[in-house]
C-alpha cells in the first residue's frame, strides 16, 4: 500500500484498502475558518447537534476576512467565537494569536505524520508535507465531523512524482508545483493523491514542502503527500501507482502561471514584458519566514516601483521577520506590511484589484476575478520573482 492507503486503512479499522473503496474514517483534526465554519455550525445546530465529538480535535481560525472587513464578516467571525466558547474548543485563535490556518496549524504542531485531517478549506492538503493525509471538504462535511468525528472518503489512487537533481538558484517548492501542474493540467491529478518523492524532495526545506503540497488541489488532487523523514509512515516498494512522472529539476526555471489557471505556466525566460500594478507576497502558499527572507534579500536597499503588500502568514513569522530586520527592509523599500490574513488572495480585502489592474502574487489561484474585478489579471510566481518584479514594475527574473 502507499502511505495514503495505509493512513486511510488505519483510520477506518481495515487491514487494507484499495483505490475506489468507500470508507468511513476517524478524523484526527477538523478545521474550519470564518467563511466555511459558520455554514457548518448552522448545519450542526439544524441537525440537533449539542456537543462536538471532541473539542480538542477541532480548530477554528478566523483568517479569511479578518480583521473583519465589514459588518457581515464581523458577524461571521463572531459566530465562530461564540461556538468555540460554547463548545470549549481551545484551538480557536483570536486575532493576536491568529495566523493563516495552513501556516498556523503546523507551526502549533497540531498535525503529525500518519494523521487524518479534514478542513473546510481546499488548501488543507498542505499538511501532506508532514506525512499526514489531509484534504479539503465542504461545510456540511465539517458539520458531520463535528457530530460524529468521522468523514466519508473514496480511497484515491496515487499519482507518483519523482524529482531528481539539485535545484537551481531562485527555484523552490513553488516552481516545482507550478511546473508539475503546468505539465499535468488543472485536473491532471483529479480525485488522486499526489505523492512527491525523489532526492530533490529529501533535500527540500520544510517551508518549500508545505508550498508543494499546498497547491496539489490546483491539479484537482484530493491530497498531496511527502513521506516523513523519520520513517514510520512510508509507501511499500510494491505499492500500486496509477501513474508515475519523473522530473530533472536542474532544467526547471522559476515559473509564472498566466491567468486564468494555475496550470497555464511558462518559465520566466519566456514571459516577455508584462507591466504590473501590484505585488502580493504572502498567503498559505508563500507567507512563511523563508519566503520573506528570499523577498527581503532581493529588496534590500532598493525601492519598489509598484504597490507591494507583504503579509507574514502568522504572528510568529511576523515577529521573526521583525527581529531579523526583514520588516525594516520591506518598509524602507516602500512595501506595506500587513497583519496575517488571507485577505487579497481571494479578493476579500487588503489589496483588491480594480478593473484592468495586473498583479503578480505568491498566492495560489489566478482565476478570473479571483482578486477583485473580473477585468483584473493575476500572475502567480515564487517570492523571489514577486520581489524582483516589485522593484522593476514588470514581471522580472530575480537575477535582474
Partner 1 sequence: MQFKGRVWKFGNNVNTDEIIPAKYLVTSDQKELSKHCLEIIHPQFPKRVKRGDIIAAGENFGCGSSREHAALAIKGAGISCVIAKSFARIFFRNCINIGLPISEEKELPESCSQGDILEIDLTKGFIKNLSTKKEFKTSKFPPFLQEIISSGGLMKWVKKKVIR
Query: 268-290 burial, b for 16+ CB within 10 Å, e for fewer?
Result: beebeeeebbbbbbbbbbbbbbb
Question: For residues 365-384, which are near partner 1 according to CB under 8 A?
Answer: 365, 367-370, 374
Q: Rank residues 315 and 376 by Cβ distance to partner 1 and give the closer one.
A: 376
**Residue 216 DSSP class:** G
Pairing outcome for strands 158-164 and 150-154? unpaired
Provide the minimum distance between the beta carbon of 296 and partner 1 in the complex, in angstroms, as a whole number: 29
Provide the minimum distance between the beta carbon of 62 and partner 1 in the complex, in angstroms, as a whole number: 13
Tell me the per-residue interface mask from 243 to 272 with partner 1, x by CB under 8 A, - otherwise.
Answer: ------------------x-----------
Write phi, then psi, for 320 (nearest 5 degrees): -60, -45
Q: Rank residues 57 and 397 by Cβ distance to partner 1 and give the closer one.
A: 57
CB 158 within 8 A of CB 241: yes
Q: Is 45 in the site for partner 1 (CB under 8 A)?
A: no
Q: Rank residues 36 and 382 by Cβ distance to partner 1 and give the closer one.
A: 36
Which one among 139, 286, 362, 389 touches partner 1, defined by CB under 8 A?
A: 139
Q: Is 46 in the site for partner 1 (CB under 8 A)?
A: yes
Q: At which residue does the C-alpha cell 480535535 appear?
A: 57
Provide the minimum distance between the beta carbon of 222 and partner 1 in the complex, in angstroms, as a whole number: 6
Residue 122, all three cell numbers: 481546499
**HSE-up of residue 356 (Cα within 13 Å, Cβ side):** 0
CB 103 within 8 A of CB 314: yes
Q: Is 228 in the site for partner 1 (CB under 8 A)?
A: no
Q: Rank residues 238 and 355 by Cβ distance to partner 1 and give the closer one.
A: 355
Q: Is the dihedral of CA 156, 249, 292, 110 positive or negative?
A: positive
CB 130 within 8 A of CB 224: no
Q: Is 70 in the site for partner 1 (CB under 8 A)?
A: yes
Q: Which residues bind partner 1 (CB under 8 A)?
A: 22, 24, 35-36, 38-39, 42-43, 46-48, 64-65, 70, 72-73, 75-76, 119-122, 124, 136-141, 143-144, 147-148, 150, 152, 186-187, 190-191, 217, 220, 222, 261, 346-348, 365, 367-370, 374
Amino acid at each position: 500500500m502507499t502511505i495514503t492507503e495505509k493512513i486511510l486503512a488505519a483510520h477506518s479499522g481495515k487491514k487494507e484498502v484499495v483505490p475506489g473503496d468507500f470508507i468511513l474514517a476517524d478524523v484526527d483534526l477538523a478545521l474550519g475558518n470564518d467563511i466555511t465554519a459558520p455554514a457548518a455550525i448552522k448545519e450542526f445546530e439544524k441537525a440537533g447537534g449539542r456537543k462536538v465529538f471532541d473539542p480538542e480535535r477541532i480548530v477554528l481560525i478566523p483568517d479569511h476576512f479578518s480583521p473583519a472587513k465589514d459588518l457581515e464578516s464581523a458577524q461571521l467571525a463572531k459566530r465562530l467565537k461564540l461556538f468555540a466558547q460554547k463548545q470549549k474548543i481551545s484551538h480557536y485563535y483570536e486575532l493576536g494569536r491568529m495566523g493563516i490556518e495552513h501556516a498556523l496549524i503546523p507551526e502549533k504542531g497540531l498535525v503529525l505524520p500518519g494523521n487524518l485531517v479534514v478542513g473546510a478549506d481546499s488548501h488543507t492538503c498542505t499538511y501532506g508535507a508532514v506525512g499526514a493525509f489531509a484534504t479539503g471538504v465542504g461545510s456540511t462535511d465539517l458539520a458531520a465531523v463535528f457530530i460524529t468525528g468521522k468523514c466519508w472518503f473514496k480511497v484515491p489512487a496515487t499519482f507518483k512524482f519523482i524529482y531528481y537533481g539539485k535545484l537551481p538558484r531562485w527555484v523552490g517548492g513553488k516552481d516545482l508545483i507550478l511546473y508539475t501542474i503546468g505539465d499535468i493540467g488543472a485536473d491532471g491529478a483529479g480525485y488522486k493523491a499526489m505523492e512527491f518523492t525523489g532526492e530533490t524532495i529529501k533535500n527540500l526545506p520544510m517551508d518549500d514542502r508545505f508550498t508543494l503540497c499546498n497547491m496539489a488541489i490546483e491539479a484537482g488532487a484530493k491530497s498531496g503527500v511527502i513521506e516523513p523523514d523519520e520513517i514510520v509512515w512510508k509507501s511499500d516498494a510494491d505499492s500500486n501507482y496509477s501513474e508515475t512522472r519523473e522530473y530533472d529539476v536542474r532544467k526547471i526555471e522559476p515559473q509564472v502561471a498566466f491567468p486564468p489557471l494555475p496550470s497555464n505556466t511558462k518559465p520566466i525566460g519566456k514571459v516577455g514584458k508584462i507591466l504590473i500594478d501590484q505585488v502580493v507576497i504572502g498567503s498559505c502558499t508563500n507567507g512563511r519566514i523563508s519566503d520573506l527572507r528570499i523577498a527581503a534579500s532581493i529588496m534590500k536597499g532598493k525601492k519598489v516601483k509598484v504597490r507591494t503588500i507583504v503579509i507574514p502568514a502568522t504572528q510568529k513569522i511576523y515577529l521573526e521577520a521583525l527581529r531579523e530586520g526583514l520588516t525594516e527592509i520591506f518598509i524602507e523599500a516602500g512595501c506595506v506590511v500587513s497583519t496575517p490574513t488571507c485577505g487579497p488572495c481571494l479578493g476579500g480585502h487588503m489589496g483588491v484589484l480594480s478593473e484592468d489592474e495586473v498583479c503578480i502574487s505568491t498566492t495560489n489561484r489566478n482565476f478570473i476575478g479571483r482578486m477583485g474585478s473580473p477585468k483584473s489579471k493575476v500572475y502567480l510566481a515564487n517570492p523571489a520573482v514577486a520581489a524582483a518584479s516589485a522593484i522593476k514594475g514588470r514581471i522580472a527574473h530575480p537575477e535582474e
